[in-house]
Amino acid sequence: MESQPEDDLRAMARLRDGEDLALGDLMRRWKEPLVSYCWRIVGHAGDARDLAQETFVKIYQARHRYRPDSAFSTWMFAIATNLCRQHLRWRRRHPEQSLDSLNEAPIPAVASADPAESADLSSLAIDLDRAISALPADLRIAFVLTEWQGMSHRDAGNILRCSAKAIERRSARARETLRAGLSKHWGGHAGQADAL
């Protein structure tokens, strides 16, 4: 289901006016994109679901401070980004690998008629995910916002409180880093890495 900005504005107006069920409308529209975004930033599905849920809690708590002069999605992703950054800082201070993260599949398998091609694509997707996770947080967030979430450099800059030009540079550096890392790793399949 494609979310329309007007639907988000109406839902936020209803939520601000005391209609708590409006939060459910926002959650239905934005849960999957938000979990996907958080997962790309923190690299763990369980943490991503928790962070998405916490984002909706923060939206509810801050419903009276929302200003409809900017897109709801920009505001929501700014909240999620701050929570993801806090989580990453916490994880750096408390390094440990849970048993869940050892067994968790990083991404769903890629379907293809040719099993060998499917295995190659799945392997490339896993390598890409690992390479994105290894990027510095500022590059990773800019890359995920612009490339995976399809945001403009301006909107991503609003979320990260920097200029659109800074986002453009960060995204370009992230692509260069990913391309170089995947080209080294994939050698003969460098054309796949060049698609970034």
Domain extents in the chain: 1-104, 110-196
pLDDT digits 0-9 by tens, 167-195: 999 999 999 999 988 887 666 554 555 55
List all residues 6 or more positions away from 34 whose beta carbon is below 8 Å from its beta carbon.
52, 55, 76, 77, 80
Binned at pLDDT 50, 70 and 90, residue 70 comes out as confident
- Answer whether residue 93 shows pLDDT above 80: yes
* Domain with residues 1-104, CATH architecture: Orthogonal Bundle (1.10)
Question: Per-residue pLDDT for 160 more than 60?
Answer: yes
The reported pLDDT for the residue numbered 59 is 97
pLDDT of residue 187: 63
Q: What is the pLDDT of residue 92?
A: 84
Q: Is the Cβ–Cβ distance between 26 and 53 less than 8 Å? A: no
Give me the mean pLDDT over the 138-160 stretch: 93
- Asked whether residue 164 carries a pLDDT value surpassing 90, the answer given is yes
pLDDT at 149 over 50: yes
The pTM (predicted TM-score) of the whole model is: 0.77
Q: DSSP label at 21?
A: T
- Higher local confidence (pLDDT), 103 or 23: 23
pLDDT at 107: 43
Percentage of the residues of the chain whose pLDDT score is greater than 90: 60
The answer to whether the beta carbons of residues 33 and 149 sit under 8 Å apart is yes
Backbone angles phi, psi at 105, to 5 degrees: -75, 130
The average pLDDT across 98-112 equals: 46
Q: Which of 61-65, 83-87, 93-97, 112-116 has the lowest mean pLDDT?
A: 112-116
pLDDT at 126: 80
Report the topology of domain 110-196.
Answer: Arc Repressor Mutant, subunit A (1.10.10)
Q: Mean pLDDT score of the chain, rounded to an integer?
A: 83
Return the CA Rg of the chain: 18
Compute the distance between CA of residue 57 and CA of residue 51 in angstroms, rounded to an integer. Answer: 10
- What CA–CA distance (Å, rounded) separates 40 from 129? 8
